[in-house]
A and B are shown apart, each in its own frame.
Chain A
């Protein structure tokens, strides 16, 4: 089946630094990818929809200048958490919809971000 990968799987950084998370669709092209944030024992919160070749669409309450999204190709989207603070510590999950095949939304394995 289709696979979505994320890198890194875990990252620990100091407060004030920026962290980039990559999301790749490995065997299908994704014009649209999604970035979610998940707090412990809670559901997924959609942060933004990433569109290849255009600006991302952010959900209400998500700071676009803090969470920079770039979808430069049909298989890669990146999320950069700028000037990270401890409250940004969370599990970040990306997903991509395979519209050309099974029309299923596949999820990456997630990235655990810890900001000290």
Chain B
């Protein structure tokens, strides 16, 4: 079956530091990959997505590249801000299906 594995948090960084949150997946076929962000007390917001190998999703300074050879979709940002503090979820969806499979989430804490 499908599964998504994320690095465990919390990840604590100082403002302007470089961020990497690792995500690897197991799936049949060619899934679409997503990163969602959840701010405290809120639902999930789509951050970025990629639908095929070598695609790069980007938004708000965050990037992730769909790497089929390593089955990875690591999230990166060059310079984090305090406002980026949130929980980040990696997810996949098989193109034949409706259902999203989520990773466990990674809490990011950015200190001034």
Chain A contacts to B: CB under 8 angstroms: 4, 6, 32, 34, 41-44, 46, 49, 93, 95, 97, 104-110, 112
| A-B pair number, CB within 8 angstroms | 45
B contact set with A: CB distance below 8 Å:
34, 36, 41-46, 49, 89, 93, 98-100, 102-105, 107
A-B contact pairs, 6 of them (CB 8 A): A34-B98, A44-B102, A105-B46, A110-B42, A110-B43, A112-B41
CA of A43 to CA of B36, assembled, Å: 11
Which residue of A has the minimal Cβ distance to B105? Answer: A43
For B98, the chain A residues whose CB sits under 8 A away are 32, 34, 49, 97
Is the CB–CB distance between A107 and B43 below 8 Å?
yes
State which of A32, A43, A49, A93 has its C-beta within 8 Å of the C-beta of B43. Answer: A93
**B49 nearest CB across to chain A (Å):** 7
Q: How far is the CA of A109 from the CA of B45 in the complex (A)?
A: 9
CA distance A39 to B20 in the complex (A): 25
CA of A72 to CA of B81, assembled, Å: 43
Whole-angstrom distance between the alpha carbons of A41 and B8 in the complex? 11
**Cβ of A105: which chain B residues have Cβ within 8 Å of it?**
34, 46, 93, 100
